[in-house]
Amino acid sequence: MFRSSTNFDKLLDKATSHLQLEPDWPTIMQICDLIRQSDVQPKGALAAIKKKMINLNPHVALYALLVLESCVKNCGTLIHDEIATKQYMEQLKELVKTSPHENVRMKILELIQAWAHAFRHSPKYRTVQDTVNIMKAEGYQFPALKESDAMFRADTAPAWADGEVCHRCRVNFSMVQRKHHCRACGQVFCAQCSSKVSTLPKFGIEKEVRVCEACYEQVNKPSAI
């Protein structure tokens, strides 16, 4: 886990380097993959990205906002649960108030507005729309909404369920019978019921990860001719 977060930091430094003349999309997508594969925790990733967003160099700050935008578009609820909070919205609002760079301020307003639109049917992410409404009432001028900016990929790995028994064979977990999670369905299993591994291309997971018996069959069944 530690190695991956060092790798994450290296990729983030590269993607937000002030030497970049244009967005380094391959590196940005690698960053998203690390988050989607749970190689790096969303909270830690967002904290590192925020450090770059407050960088006084506008290029670094803007590239950091592109990384943030891509993470929200590609990492699903792992990231949505972290940014659609009062605390995170307050941080963004503070940055709009304090950033000396007009293009950084406008990019943040564009993102908050796009997320509010994308989350418009998700009551649990209501705080984003509330933030837009409050900021508009306080006189902030938001850019015109581009619907295309508010489209997210739906295919991200499911959040992990918890449980005291194996989802497949119902054995009780204990000090010796350890819990394991299938990355494809997110359910909790004993070692015997989740001993297989598989790539999960539909979730952008290219490395082999632990999956349960049922998901292994599902993912690896010969596709109908």
Ligand X SMILES: O=P(O)(O)O[C@@H]1[C@H](O)[C@H](OP(=O)(O)O)[C@@H](O)[C@H](O)[C@H]1O
Q: Which of 184, 188, 200, 209 binds Zn ion (CB under 5 A)?
A: 184
54-93 footprint of ligand X as x/- string (CB under 6 A): ----------------------------------------
Rounded to an integer, what distance in angstroms lies between the CA atom of residue 150 and that of residue 55? 26
Assigned token pair, 83: 């940014």
The answer to whether residue 62 forms part of the interface with Zn ion (CB under 5 A) is no
Footprint on residues 109-168 left by Zn ion (CB under 5 A): 166, 168
Determine how many CB atoms are found less than 10 A away from the CB of residue 154: 6
Between 178 and 217, how does the x/- string for binding to ligand X read (CB under 6 A)? xxxx----------------------------x-------
DSSP SS3 for 77:
helix
Cβ–Cβ < 8 Å for 35, 78: yes
107 scored as a contact of ligand X (CB under 6 A): no
* DSSP secondary structure, 75-93, as one string: STHHHHHHHSSHHHHHHHH
Tokens of 72: 């929200």
Using CB under 5 A, which of the segments 25-33, 64-72, 133-141, 188-196 binds Zn ion?
Answer: 188-196
Q: Which does 193 bind (CB under 5 to 8 A by kind): Zn ion, ligand X, none?
A: Zn ion
Which partner, Zn ion, ligand X, none, binds residue 11 by CB below 5 to 8 Å per kind? none
Which amino acid, residue 180?
H
Q: How far is CA 144 from the centre of its chain?
A: 25
3-state class (DSSP) for residue 170:
coil
Residues that bind Zn ion (CB under 5 A): 166, 168-169, 182, 184-185, 190, 193, 212, 215
Residues that bind ligand X (CB under 6 A): 178-181, 210
